[in-house]
Homo-oligomer: A and B are copies of this chain.
Amino acid sequence: MRLRIADELLGADSLDSLTAVQLRLLVDELLSDYAACLDNGEIDRWPDFFTDDCTYKVIARDNHERGRPLATILCESRGYLLDRVRAVQETSYYLPRQLRHVVSGLRITGHDGDEIRAEANYAVFRTMPDEETRVFNVGNYMDSIVLDGTRLKFKTKICIYDSILIPNSLVYPI
């Protein structure tokens, strides 16, 4: 029994033959797997969701909309992601925290053969030791997704967050 929608639908070499319904279900599964990876604290698996030449960016909405380059996190290849993983794992003053992603409103906004563009809203909750759970970071994803072998991966993932006030430690990816 095949459990993953990707295993069921992604047999061919291209995304061309997929229907709108199939694309929607595939990207939904990818976003769910991505969120679970981060929420389960498996940050060493996080770079596997990206292509080698990926761009990963976390940026305030204001900067994004005005075309300002200033981003809170900017990784311009998978190597950068690996560096960030190491940074998170080795930062000693970094208190343990629990993130929890709630993602909804997925929309497939573009598709040209090899590349899917998708957007979704996210709300990330954070729980620090001995504190109540709080709203941590809210915004939307703007993703470009490609088929890498038999797996969907992010070629671009931009996390555009709504509040310029973020807690002083946006170390962990969104």
**Chain A residues within 8 Å of B, Cβ to Cβ:** 1-5, 7-9, 16, 19-21, 23-25, 29, 31-33, 35-36, 39, 61, 98, 100-113, 119, 121, 123, 125, 127, 130-135, 137-140, 162-165
* Assembled-state Cα–Cα distance A112/B1 (Å): 8
- How many monomers of this chain does the complex have? 3
What are the 8 A-B residue pairs with the smallest beta carbon separation, nearest first? A127-B162, A32-B105, A98-B162, A8-B20, A133-B138, A133-B163, A127-B163, A35-B105
* Assembled-state Cα–Cα distance A21/B28 (Å): 11
Option from B25, B113, B162, B163 in Cβ contact (under 8 Å) with A21? B25
Instruction: Write out the residue numbers on chain B whose beta carbons fall within 8 Å of the beta carbon of A135.
Output: 125, 132-135
Contact between chains at A107 and B29 (CB < 8 Å): yes
Option from B3, B103, B108, B113 in Cβ contact (under 8 Å) with A111? B3
Contact between chains at A130 and B164 (CB < 8 Å): yes
